[in-house]
Amino acid sequence: MVVCCCLGRTATWVSYQLKIHAQKYMRSPLIPEMATQEVQLNETLAHLKSESESLKSKLEEERAKLHDVELHQVAEKVEGLGQFVMKTRRTLKGHGNKVLCMDWCKDKRRIVSSSQDGKVIVWDAFTTNKEHAVTMPCTWVMACAYAPSGCAVACGGLDNKCSVYPLSLDKNENLAAKKKSVAMHTNYLSACSFTNSDMQILTSSGDGTCALWDVESGQLLQSFHGHAADVLCLDLAPSETGNTFVSGGCDKKANVWDMRSGQCIQSFETHESDINSVRYYPSGDAFASGSDDATCRLYDLRADREVAIYSKESIIFGVSSVDFSLSGRLLFGGYNDYTINVWDVLKGTRVSILFGHENRVSTLRVSPDGTAFSTGSWDHTLRIWA
């Protein structure tokens, strides 16, 4: 029984729960009344379901009570952004098929990218040179990540696994030989990220779970259950002390998790379709999401609700990926209509629309020092914008 403090409402709830349990235990087990038992079970389920739903609506009410003003109203006093010019500064060609994912190295210039044909390439984006390439044994490599040390990359996709490849200085060495299988899921790998160490990887999967793995042994350190459908994305909180991350899925929910206990500590459900991308605001107090419903949304963890929606009547294609500029003032969104929309996070307006890719933008990340952002597309290329 859950121990609650003595408020009138919860006391009623507790006594109600006692009643349900009493009903269960007072039924005589000797008489096989299967039919009645099933009816009673269904009744119990129906009661619990309505209880759960009424609590959920109550939560929405409580959240709404503190919504005394809109973010963009308070932001009216903030100076507007001037003319915004960002252009493609580098185009990386070399993938033979749709680019699905990319990640920056901490050195601010190298990136790793993965594509539909199984190729994973490490580039020095500044010179556009390819430094390493490896072909995975599976197609649709939807996830890739650079290790914090810069000495390894992780990737995975339809093979349901996340594998780590140490990057050798010897260009001739066969990377595939040193491959290490770390994560094992029961469905496709949608995203992966190293924690602040080369020794742990956090993964999300089409099997509806996220998991934390020890790279060296492949041991599962913690698993995270709570999504009702495929989990498509995740992002670790930027704090030095925090142990939380956020995930988004096909159940339209964005969940915040405690890495230590495996518990879901906050949940948000306002999107109208799959959430393809989640990214923390640089202070760690909020996060943005991008969805197939063509909107980006900002959720604040302290207000415990959605605080802004970034949408336009003319934007009807889904958002595949989002990321913030260093100060959190700008939100970049890569869309399925081949464009990048740049949003003023505080005022809620669109600052700029960037054209260039010839097919869906599938992935977008701002560089570690914020000097540029990179996009990957189904048109087989990656672009660096600044």
Residue number, 174 or 228, with CB nearest to another protein? 228
Minimum CB separation of residue 140 from another protein in Å reads: 6
Is there a contact between 264 and 256 (Cβ–Cβ < 8 Å)? yes
252: phi then psi, degrees, rounded to nearest 5: 70, 10
Measured CA to CA, the distance from residue 358 to residue 271 in angstroms comes to: 27
Is there a contact between 198 and 149 (Cβ–Cβ < 8 Å)? yes
Residue number, 41 or 174, with CB nearest to another protein? 41
31: phi then psi, degrees, rounded to nearest 5: -95, 115
DSSP 266-325: EEE---SS-EEEEEE-TTSSEEEEEETTS-EEEEETTTTEEEEEE--TT--SPEEEEEE-
What H or E segment, with its residue span, contains residue 350?
A: strand 350-354
Minimum CB separation of residue 337 from another protein in Å reads: 6
Determine the Cα angle at 251 with ends 280 and 54, to 5°: 100
* Nearest of 255, 284, 272 to residue 311 by alpha carbon: 272
Minimum CB separation of residue 276 from another protein in Å reads: 8
Minimum CB separation of residue 217 from another protein in Å reads: 6
Residue number, 130 or 329, with CB nearest to another protein? 329
Minimum CB separation of residue 100 from another protein in Å reads: 8
Residue number, 134 or 384, with CB nearest to another protein? 384
Minimum CB separation of residue 172 from another protein in Å reads: 27
Measured CA to CA, the distance from residue 269 to residue 297 in angstroms comes to: 11
Minimum CB separation of residue 247 from another protein in Å reads: 14
Kindly state the tokens that stand for 189: 């790998």
Residue number, 120 or 298, with CB nearest to another protein? 298
Residue number, 133 or 307, with CB nearest to another protein? 307
Residue number, 174 or 371, with CB nearest to another protein? 371
